[in-house]
Amino acid sequence: MDFFKKIFSHICLTISLLILFYTYYRSEIYWEGIKRDDYIIRYITSTILIFFSIITFFITQKIKEYLIISSLSIFLSIYLFEGYLTYKDYKKVKFSKEKFYESQTGKKWDHRSKFKVYEDLKKISVKTSVSIFPSIYLNQNNKIYPLSGVSHSKTVNCQENGYFSIFKSDRYGFNNPDQEWDSKEIEYLLVGDSFAFGDCVNRPYDISSILRTLSKKSVLNISYSDNGPLLSFASLREYLSPNVKKILWVFTELNDIYDLNNEIKNLTLKKYLEKPNFTQKLKFKQKEIDDLANDMIEKEKLKAEKKEKLKAEKKEKLKAEKKEKEYLIVRFINFLKINRLRASIFYKFDPNVKYIKSTQTLKKLNPQPEFKHILKLVKDLSNKNNSKLYFVYMPEYSRYNFKYDDTSYNLVRNILNELDIPLIDIHKEVFLKEKNPLELFPFGLDGHYNQNGYKKVANAIYKLTK
């Protein structure tokens, strides 16, 4: 015990300084200050430990003896509990979304890549394509800026629910039954990003299809995945027709503000902001759009094949023993860092909502001045077209898995109030009414909404707009 008394203060100070240096490394060097706020508690903790360590140099030997016994007891208890949590996780049968999908549907989870599905379908039908997002053209200098994909084509989209969503594109390359464009009156026109597009589900489970069923009227969707506000406005300018009764401007808090930062740098898209009557007349240039999209598909396919090849080569080089050793090292480091214990402390259950929510605050970007200007132009265009405009606010997954910063949400609401644009708040109308909002996402995991999620969103929109 006398030996431990002599080195106790030095050990405490060394450990405290190591914690401080490691915290500084992670915060300022590894993350380059981006996540500094997340490390404040660690900075405070290490500072308190350093202060405590210095005090131990001046306390009596008897008190130091009590501190050694207490410290060892606490230290041992922490790692015993961490060991218990590790064993519990090891013994627990992990949730398998693949097995769940197979038990519910009797089908096998589709592990193919998007381009493998594309190649397989192309053997059956030549008129097959892959969804090419308009945002992919942001840094290109083409004669036109396409806002849709290949027309009249079986289009492979995305996979989050066990299968690849595939749709037959219309005459302009959007996700609609083609005959919708021939309707005398369009009840709803949707414009937005992947959530409005209906990513990762098939018809009739996307919002547009459900609204067609509910209203028994025509619905058009000119949305596309990865569209931000400026791409959406450009689409509205190009494809809005006089027979549209209601425009649903679908805004996703996940990325719409971020996307606008990139969109406003494109010279063609900026013309939609600066010139009131600017148009590319894209309705008459579908052949050019198809050609550009098909070229892009081939380029993206080559990239994907190269990536898969490199991945396979890397996997081949790594021997099973080495992989197992690396896996054990990672597990041992996580054990030393008491990851599971810290997770159980920093993740809490909300008594009002039955899902796990992190105490970490997720901050969002604030809307740019251009965002308000775009909404003003959208409203003016809607009024000119005698269409009723609704702003549909779509919440993201992280809102229900993190402590959420509502600053940008409130700023968007203020802009809508100033412009007198009706808001359909899907967060309040749908997700807050759920015991577990995460169940409206694929297997409760990060992604777009699942079939049930899209259904509840469409029902809320119909109820508030009929």
What whole-number distance in Å separates Cα of residue 349 and Cα of residue 119?
45
Confirm if 257 and 371 have CB atoms less than 8 A apart: yes
Confirm if 17 and 61 have CB atoms less than 8 A apart: no
Q: Quick one: pLDDT at residue 350? A: 45
Q: Quick one: pLDDT at residue 11? A: 85
| Domain boundaries 114-305+361-465, corresponding CATH code | 3.40.50.1110
Give a three-class secondary structure readout of the chain.
Answer: CHHHHHHHHHHHHHHHHHHHHHHHHHHHHHCCCCCHHHHHHHHHHHHHHHHHHHHCCCCCHHHHHHHHHHHHHHHHHHHHHHHHHHHHHHHCCCCCHHHHHHHHHCCCCCCCCHHHHHHHHHCCCCCEEECCCHHHHCCCCCCCCCCCCCCCCEEEEEECCCCEEEEECCCCCCCCCHHHHHCCCEEEEEECCHHHHCCCCCCCCCHHHHHHHHHCCEEEECCCCCCCHHHHHHHHHHHCCCCEEEEEEEEECCCHHHHHHHHCCCHHHHHHHHCCCCCCCHHHCHHHHHHHHHHHHHHHHHHHHHHHHHHHHHHHHCCHHHHHHHHHHHHHHHHHCCHHHHHHHHEEECCCCCCEEEEEEECCCCCCHHHHHHHHHHHHHHHHCCCEEEEEEECCHHHHCEEECCHHHHHHHHHHHHHCCCEEEHHHHCHHHCCCHHHHCHHHCCCCCCHHHHHHHHHHHHHHHC
Tell me the chain's radius of gyration from C-alpha atoms: 27
Q: Quick one: pLDDT at residue 319? A: 55
> How does pLDDT run along the chain (466 residues), one tens digit per residue?
667 677 878 888 898 898 889 888 888 887 777 667 777 888 888 899 888 888 888 888 888 888 888 888 888 888 888 787 777 665 544 456 788 888 888 889 999 999 999 999 999 988 999 999 999 999 999 999 999 999 999 999 999 999 999 999 999 999 999 999 999 999 999 999 999 999 999 999 999 999 999 999 999 999 999 999 999 999 999 999 999 999 999 999 868 888 898 999 999 999 999 999 999 999 999 999 999 999 999 999 998 888 877 776 666 665 555 555 555 676 777 777 777 666 666 554 444 444 555 555 555 667 788 999 999 999 999 999 999 999 999 999 988 887 778 888 999 999 999 999 999 999 999 999 999 999 999 998 889 999 999 999 999 999 999 8
What whole-number distance in Å separates Cα of residue 298 and Cα of residue 271?
29
Length of the chain in terms of residues written: 466
Domain segments of the chain as ranges: 2-91, 114-305+361-465
Confirm if 128 and 167 have CB atoms less than 8 A apart: no
Q: Quick one: pLDDT at residue 353? A: 44
